[in-house]
């Protein structure tokens, strides 16, 4: 049972480049989330999806887009990367927001 799988684990981008972070879960969960984690800031919610076909903004959505491709997959896209987007990104899923969430291992992104 793989749980939540994120790819890639590490990425270095130049300012202005684009990329997509992939996330897949095999637990048939309805809710999926993307967070970023910066030193001293805890986890901040970027976007979330309460069910297949729906997405909503979290606390820090600017500069990102998401796609809930199907129930399993929730991708995060940076259209034009900026140094301020250097961070560790985590994908998570849960049956519902009030229940236990399962996390991927994270993507460490550096924008130079």
Give the residue with the Cβ less far from another protein, 35 or 74: 35
- Report, in Å, the least distance between residue 80 CB and another protein: 26
Give the residue with the Cβ less far from another protein, 17 or 58: 58
Give the residue with the Cβ less far from another protein, 18 or 41: 41
- Report, in Å, the least distance between residue 42 CB and another protein: 4
Q: What angle do CA 94, 100, 104 make, to 5 degrees?
A: 60
Which residues contribute to the site for another protein (CB under 8 A)?
Answer: 4, 31, 33, 35, 40-45, 48, 50, 56, 58-59, 90, 92, 94, 96-106
- Report, in Å, the least distance between residue 16 CB and another protein: 28
Q: Where are the alpha helices (DSSP H) in 24-98?
A: none
Q: Is 104 helix (H, G, I), strand (E, B) or coil?
A: coil
d(CA 89, CA 105): 9
Cβ–Cβ < 8 Å for 65, 74: no
Cβ–Cβ < 8 Å for 71, 52: yes
- Report, in Å, the least distance between residue 110 CB and another protein: 15
């Amino acid at each position: 049972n793989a749980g939540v799988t994120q790819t890639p684990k590490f990425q270095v981008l130049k300012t202005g480049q684009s990329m997509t972070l992939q996330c897949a879960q095999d637990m048939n969960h309805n809710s999926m989330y993307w967070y970023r984690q910066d030193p001293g800031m805890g986890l901040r919610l970027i976007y979330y999806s309460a069910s297949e076909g729906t997405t909503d903004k979290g606390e820090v959505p600017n500069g990102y887009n998401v796609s809930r491709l199907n129930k399993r997959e929730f991708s995060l896209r940076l259209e034009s990367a900026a140094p301020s987007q250097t961070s560790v990104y985590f994908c998570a899923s849960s049956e519902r927001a009030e229940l236990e969430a399962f996390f991927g291992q994270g993507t460490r992104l550096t924008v130079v």
